[in-house]
Amino acid sequence: MPPMVAPQTAKAIARDLPTKTAFITDSEAGKIIAAPTPCNARAAMRWIDESEIATRTLAPTKMMMPMMKRSLRPKRSARRPERISNEAKVSEYAALIHSASLVVRFKSLIIDGIATFTTVASRMIMATPRDKKARAIQRLLPVRTFCSESAGAFMVSLSWPGGPRVDRGNHASHADHTDAMSECGRADASGQWENHHVTTTAFAKGLSAGGLNIDPPVVLAPMAGITNRAFRRLCREAGAGLYVSEMVTSRALIERNDETLDMVTFAADENPRSVQLYGVDPVVMAQAVRIIVDEDRADHIDLNFGCPVPKVTRKGGGSALPWKQDLFRSIVRAAIAAANGKVPVSVKMRKGIDDEHLTYLHAGAAAAQEGVAWVALHGRTAAQMYGDTADWSAIARLKEQLAGYGTPVLGNGDIWTAADALRMMSETGADGVVVGRGCLGRPWLFGQLAAAFTGADIPADPHFDEVLRTLRRHAQLLCGDYGESRGCRDMRKHMAWYLKGFSVKQQIRQSLGTVSTLAELDELIGQMNGDQEFNQVVGAGPRGRTSGGRRPTLPEGWLDSPFIDEVGAQNLLEAELSVSGG
């Protein structure tokens, strides 16, 4: 046994001591930590009593408070600073600013003949108190000119007082960008102005087909229950273009349905007259076209292949029909043959059934090969209905596809303002636009479109009092066509579109939804506050139906083959509806 080691004082003591504590002295710890030597046993650990542990006392700590720095009050108030007798010198100068600029854009198939446009841009010269030499450089906005290849060449002339003249010629298929700079002379204390004039002369071919000249190339899309004689008159009075009737079925027309015949009856002063036909049978479609041509009922016929409503697509009609390539071509060929060159025939369609079944490129090429006047494309599929955003890139692709045929392409979808129409033309290269829901409750949109395409100032949207007068005239025209009772009932669906964006009491809105006489309508109009500005934010947004994202309703096995079979042909016989829409 190793010798016992005398107890030593602990180096550290726990605050709460247990009954028994393992205590290790310095010497014992050293022996334990050190490497053991042979034949030498380690010292045993022993337990010690609490009495052997020295008690540690904690001395009280004295807290030292820092000396606070106190600020003493002054014995007297501070003296105010001395006043400065000399006023500060201020340099004064005046600047007179005035500018006006306009970017002129030409598009192919818009202008027939020679047109001259002038862009005026003003230069700013600062007027200073002293007569000194001033220098100002004005960069004119670039003038872009677009013309069709068949238009020949164009000439851009730039001139301004005291400056050089720049003439640039180019082929019509290219755009010309011209920048010009000039230097002014001396500026006296009163300042001076100089105007720069940019004159562009372009030769372009108008959108014409079968004797029709559509200038500007703006088309009112056919809408069931909307584009009747009354609404078309409001649109014609506001602007220029082509205004298509409601969609009618070829079967109802050859059966001499009274309501259908009334839909293809136009006012004496309506010119040109345009009818849209819907059909799924080439023979029936040809007969309907002959009726229109022989009876001189229209100057233009449009074939509907874009209706997405289920009651039409479930039988293979509307936007579902172009999937059957042979049937689509047969209907277009039969209609053009029946027209016999006396009336131009066009087609209106959608991109396809859904994103997996697109048809517009093949159908557009087939229609162009058969000799249609133009192809109008709505940048949505049947599955999208009126939701999501129209795909304008599809319009651009179709334009490229039909470039070799020389067939114009018109774009449709999400044209809510005149600026939207110009942007579509610029982005897609389309030869015209087709406006549908954007004009609901806004027939004056066609006046804005006409101004935009001719380069004139776009009229502002009207105040609410003028909107109410248009609403009242719309109701009066409907009552004149259908009688007061039916006319007021038909007017009810237009109320929300006219009032969109304006502050109208809910009770008045509800009463307008049940109006039955013109006197009742006048009373309700008198209760509204007409002193309201047009809401540009709301007015530039979507109108009408915005639903979409539904699975198209199609005949059973319709997508199995892009060609029609006997079963499909039999089902199509039931697709001739007397009333349809889209």
Name the residues annotated as catalytic.
307
| Three-state SS annotation for 216-274 | CCEEECCCCCCCCHHHHHHHHHHCCCEEEEEEEEHHHHHCCCHHHHHHCCCCCCCCCCE
Any bridge partners for residue 170, and if so which? Answer: 154
**Distance (Å, rounded) from C-alpha 38 to C-alpha 35?**
10
Question: By 3-state DSSP, what share of the chain in percent is helix, strand and coil, each rounded to 5?
Answer: 30, 15, 50
Q: Which two tokens stand for residue 423?
A: 């942007």
Q: Classify the C-alpha dihedral 394-397-401-402 as positive or negative.
A: positive
Contact 374, 210 (CB under 8 A): no
Q: Which two tokens stand for residue 211?
A: 């004797």
508-510-514 Cα angle (round to 5)? 110
Contact 440, 497 (CB under 8 A): yes
**Distance (Å, rounded) from C-alpha 288 to C-alpha 259?**
15
**Which positions ≥6 away from 393 have C-beta within 8 Å?**
379, 428
**Distance (Å, rounded) from C-alpha 425 to C-alpha 417?**
13
